[in-house]
Structure 1
Amino acid sequence: MAVVAAAALTLLLGGCATLFGEGSQRRGVSSSVVDYLYPSGEKFEPATESAVPQVRLPARVGLVFVPSHNDPVGVSAADRSALLEKVRQTFREQPFIERIEVIPDGYLRPKGGFDNLEQVARMYGVDLVALVSYDQIVRTDQNAASLLYWTLVGAYTIHGNSNQVSTFVDTSVFDVKTRALLFRAPGTDQRDAGSTAVRVDQTQARLAGESFSVAMNAMTGNLDKSIADFAVRAREEGQVKLVDRRSGGEWRRGGGGSTQWWELALLLAGAALLLRRR
């Protein structure tokens, strides 16, 4: 009798595992800048061998999500658009930005490369493009309490599943003409929560949406620092040439002329960002 009872219990648990899933389950989504810009493992080749990025000021910037094959678990297209507005506002606060365009991600083809990026930049009349990419991993495990899932009540009331979501968001700003990476800003988040068997999907979607939003906020905070650091490199290290969009004159360290105003603007922007972080 004991053997029969054990066998019956095993069948019940096995059937329940088939119904609700068993063991550890893992799924994820990724929109990789490298996969988009360098499809099929292509090597980086700048537009010209000795080209130094020339940022025309006031700058015109395009902002867009890198395409992926599937969407984040808990983030809709409307959510992504709202989150991009936060990044747009960060750029808007800079005195040397003329305008920033939020570009629908449908204009970027998967593995489209720099050719696709240049087409979109021309369409929107921008010189710089900020590519927002993300990686999100969703994992669920059954804990000891999941043994009670063999009862219908247990499947609805017992938190026998442990759910974890890890999110990485990154903004990489490229000069389209020279294909040079000017600066980047990352943001990360990880969170977990228990759930019943029948509410695994809802819990994962909620965690994914919250994690994505927090990672985006962290990224926009780091974007402030990256912009300030970029201003220093452009002003002091000569890694980037700053050109006045209106006059065509080149900004030079310590130089005068029509571009001197931009030196002051960059100094003020960098100082303001440093004070705000403190």
Structure 2
Amino acid sequence: MNFWNIFKLILLLIATIILTTGCGIQTKQHRSSSVVQYLYPDRQNHVEVPGIPRLALPLRVGIAFVPENSVKSQALTETDKMDLMKEVSHHFKKYDFVKSIELIPSAYLRNDGGFGNLDQIRTMYGIDVITLLSYDQTQFTDEGLASITYWTIIGAYIIPGEKNDTHTMVDATVYDILSRKMLFRAPGTNHIKSNATPVNLTEKLRKDSLESFKVASSDLIKNLDTQLQLFKEKIKEAPEDYQITHRPGYTGGGSLDASFIILLTLLGGYGLWTKKKRKH
């Protein structure tokens, strides 16, 4: 075998290695925070039994992000979280039955803090209800044959070669703190597909991550209205499961008007009376 044939064989082997390994280079980044893990860290040995919520209108609402599952893989900075919480708070502010909204920094929520931690936050901020925000985001990078080919022939600086998928879910879970009762929840989702060169891959993934969070949060905010309406219907159907009261000076209005509150109060009293009558 002459030198030229040996050289061609070596080139063929190199090309085969590049093609077979380059087609399957895949990476996945997963970041998340869990309401279940935060509220029920010891759920196998202890289960919280929710009571009947006593909702005093207008409500004092808190908004907070639950801690990430891993500090090393945080997807959002504290500034990012505050910006998203402000978007959610703007949505709540238009309702007359909301008296005040507190944006609670992440430092006040402990990992696996549970309802004991929420009791501390309730005392500290004077809130009744809390909206816990959590998220789950996966970024999948598939470095395929095109990127390897363009890298070796044309150059990765010129031709996009990384195919990126970003999947994001943001979830808002609303709890009455004293009763431990979940009132309702609203999810928001987003999926982004984009391209980037290996040189700017990290920057592009970061931009996709934040953009996906923003779009998912917008989807969440749209769903809040729907879930609120469903919550109102649920109260009408089972008024004995909720106790509605007024703070001094509050006469009702907005989405939960005075006549609606009076009706709930009467129905709630009737439901409790019928329950007592059945026992006798």
TM-score bracket relative to the smaller structure:
0.7 to 0.9
Report Cα offsets for 1:171-206 as digits up to 9, x if no partner.
Answer: 001011110100111100001111111121111111
Determine helix, strand or coil for the equivalent of 1:136: strand
1:255 maps to: none
Determine helix, strand or coil for the equivalent of 1:24: strand
1:266 maps to: 256
Tell me, yes or no, if the aligned pair for 2:60 and 2:129 is still in contact at 8 Å. yes
1:67 maps to: 67
Determine helix, strand or coil for the equivalent of 1:164: strand
Structure 1 unaligned residues grouped into runs of 5+: 248-258, 271-278
1:140 maps to: 141
Report Cα offsets for 1:67-111 as digits up to 9, x if no partner.
Answer: 1024554x4321221111111111111111110100001100111
Q: So what's the TM-score if we normalise by structure 1?
A: 0.81
Structure 1: distance between partners of 2:167 and 2:200: 19
1:35 maps to: 37
Displacement of 1:265: 5.2
1:6 maps to: 12
Q: What root-mean-square deviation, in Å, do the aligned CA atoms of Structure 1 and Structure 2 show?
A: 2.6
Tell me, yes or no, if the aligned pair for 1:234 and 1:241 is still in contact at 8 Å. no
Displacement of 1:26: 0.5
1:56 maps to: 56
Question: May I ask how many residue pairs the two structures share in their alignment?
Answer: 249
2:48 maps to: 45
**In the alignment, does 2:168 pair up with 1:162?**
no
2:221 maps to: 220
Q: So what's the TM-score if we normalise by structure 2?
A: 0.80
Displacement of 1:236: 4.3
Amino acid at match of 1:4: I
Report Cα offsets for 1:215-255 as digits up to 9, x if no partner.
Answer: 001101111122222223234421321111228xxxxxxxx
Residues 265 and 5 of structure 1: is their aligned pair in 2 closer, same or farther, counting only changes over 3 Å? closer
2:103 maps to: 102
Structure 2: distance between partners of 1:195 and 1:225: 37
Tell me, yes or no, if the aligned pair for 1:134 and 1:170 is still in contact at 8 Å. yes
Determine helix, strand or coil for the equivalent of 2:157: helix
Structure 1: distance between partners of 2:61 and 2:85: 13
Displacement of 1:113: 0.9
**Identical-residue share of aligned pairs (%):** 35
Report Cα offsets for 1:15-39 as digits up to 9, x if no partner.
Answer: x96xxx9611111111100010011
2:181 maps to: 180
Q: List aligned pairs for 1:247-262, cutoff 5 A.
A: 261-262=251-252
Structure 2: distance between partners of 1:123 and 1:109: 15
Amino acid at match of 2:67: P
**In the alignment, does 2:239 pair up with 1:233?**
no
